[in-house]
Structure 1
Amino acid sequence: MSPKFLHTLSVLLLLAGISSCKKTVEPPAQPNSKIIEYKVPVADGEISGVIDEGDKTITVYVPFYYQLDVIDPKIKLADGASLKEKIVPVDVLDEKTIYTVTGADKSTSTYRLIIKLQQLGPLVIEEISTATTTTKWGIGFYNVRLRGNFNTNDATKVKAFLVGSDNKEYALVNSPNGAPGIQTTMGATDKIYALFYLQVPQTIEPGIYKLKVKIQSLTAVAKYPIEVFYDTPQINYVGAEARAGESFNVITTGPVFYNFKEFSITVNGQKVSLPIESYTRTKATIRIPDNVPAGVYNPTATFEGWAPIFQYWTLTVKAK
């Protein structure tokens, strides 16, 4: 054999020996602390959440037409894995939900839930005031109506607020006339929604406020402000009954009491004042003097700054 051939043969044998000594390197085992399915049942099927193993997030896209306030997910884990948290309904505006998974291999993973509401925007509300005229609402005014492109007939989803100069929000509340509702009409190009039976809260202070409306993830703020003020007080139309020398209460679920000065009845053609023992914005305690004869009377309430208000309900006084 030639020296060249022997050299080539020895090199090949050496390489074969080295190759035979190599070990097969397996890829590192992947942890099985995984969520492999996240589904939300809806009226016509299921919404599948998008699971991103890179940043450990689960993103759920919720179309507005399902009108969901919460999602009630179904979660599937990898074989042998367990979930630390209970599976409970999640508010669609929630931003804090996480899921902690422990795998059969004792590894752990934490997923963050992201809910994206696919609403029709922007939200637009009809102005209550104008550039030249500021609308006034009395404290306790209970016939507030708002109009806009709400895209829902569910009044509970529309939240309205008065926002003060300190950015504190005061929610408009349900009117004593009934639960809020929504009426729809067709405008020139779009449907218009009118929300009715809202009330200015009886606890708010007089001042200038911005009107803000929220529908889930959408928010609109009116351009022009609203003035809140003490309007003519009202007393609920309810009868009262008490004995001479006793006290009784009157209340308002509408415009509040302010500067309550006098409560009187007419006895034999003469005005008789009934002492106001105490009052708040919404309740007053009145005492009937000992010498008031038994009878049925229509009282009159006087608040400073307003004309006396004759009451069409009756006060029945019984003998002491």
Structure 2
Amino acid sequence: MTHSIKRGVSLYSFQEEYFLRKLTLEDCIAVSVGFGALGIETIAEQMMPGFPDLSDDFYRRWDAWREQYGFQPTAHDMFAELKLYPDRARPTGELVEDLKKDIDHTARLGATVIRILAATPAEVVELAAPYARDKGVRLATEVHAPRRFSSDWFASHFEVAERVGPDVVGICPDLGIFVKRLPKVLWERSLRDGADSDFVKRVVDVYDSGEDTSTLQDEAERLNLGPLEQDIALQATRFIWEEPRQLLDYMPYIHHVHAKFYEIDDSGEEYSIPYQEIISVLKEGGYDGYLSSEYEGNRHIQDAFEVDSVEQVRRHQEMLTRLLADED
């Protein structure tokens, strides 16, 4: 099937190596481009010290990197500082002004999308939309587990998108809403930590069969199990499986996709997320934006293995290349 879907990388994927100073911001860009992923999604708070008050020198370096490596800035990930005041909600006007700074930064990078944090109030997005339109920036609220398309939360944000128009306001689906099997790196870590193997198997079986996971914590308590079992039961409630064909209902509003993954194994496949099925739906719907690799397996293996985010992203990009080339 002919399509215009493009490959990119969220630099969030390299948080481990960046934190340990194994990779610089420029290194993260160079690695991604080396895999043929020319769309670069950035995390300013994580990798651009001084944000939002970045110097002209920083932006000059950024422009030089764009020319040197030939990449396209795709999205800036914003974070709403919702809890600056411990005793009251932060005023809406302040949140709007902060979002305008994110919009300015996104435009200056040469990107066209802001990933709006799911916790950002819908009214903040709506109030900032005219400013974003003037700057040529689209506001894409992240649809992230455990939030569902059927939730009141999604309804409130989608109502704003419909009022304002998909040319400015839309969504950024995170593929973590399509977790069909509980991530293996998650429950393997639980076993290494010493959780009861029978109960871990029970949690995995309940999740993978599509049963209700909300009762698992009560079950662990009834069995007089400890904090490790309580934790895996709780974590299972934070993953969800949505039917990928639901994406077809929102295609005009999908401005960016977080291609979440937890592990690409030696066979080149993602254990938890049915990528072939999802990409087929995106092709069918005419999606023409970026699939931005977002590796989140590192936190589950740090106890026993050296994290190699670069290798994981390489494998993920190979998988995307193969699936995007496949005829459906």
TM-score under structure 2 length normalisation: 0.22
Greater relative CO (CA pairs within 8 A, separation 6+):
2
- The structure whose residues are more often helix, as a share, is 2
Larger Rg: 1
TM-score under structure 1 length normalisation: 0.22
